[in-house]
């Protein structure tokens, strides 16, 4: 059994900058997207903060958040 390490806090007195949290990606129906595995596609369905359904012409795939391999064109 292993314990998860608690996230490190940033102290205001630290000489180092606080880590930047990237903003969550948001997609809307009709957006053109590219995926590292599936290629070019169009968003055909959105489940807020959970997943998006994308039509890649050869297949429809449900891509889960945080959408690491997908970006909006």
pLDDT along the chain (73 residues), means of 10: 73 83 86 96 93 94 91 93
Of 66, 40, 44, 65, nearest to 53 by C-alpha is 44
The pLDDT assigned to 21 comes to 74
The pLDDT assigned to 1 comes to 57
The pLDDT assigned to 30 comes to 96
The pLDDT assigned to 6 comes to 77
DSSP state string for the chain: --PPPPPPPPPTT-SSPPPPPPPPP---TT-EEEETTTEEEEEEEEETTTEEEEE-SS-EEEEETT-TTEEE-
Question: Quick one: how far is CA 33 from the chain centroid?
Answer: 12
């Amino acid at each position: 059994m292993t314990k998860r390490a608690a996230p490190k806090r940033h102290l205001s007195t630290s000489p180092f900058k606080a880590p930047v949290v990237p903003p969550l990606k948001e997609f809307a129906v009709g957006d053109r997207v590219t995926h590292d595995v599936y290629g070019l596609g169009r968003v055909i369905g959105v489940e807020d903060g959970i997943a998006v359904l994308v039509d890649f012409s050869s297949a429809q795939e449900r891509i889960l958040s945080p959408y690491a391999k997908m970006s909006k064109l």
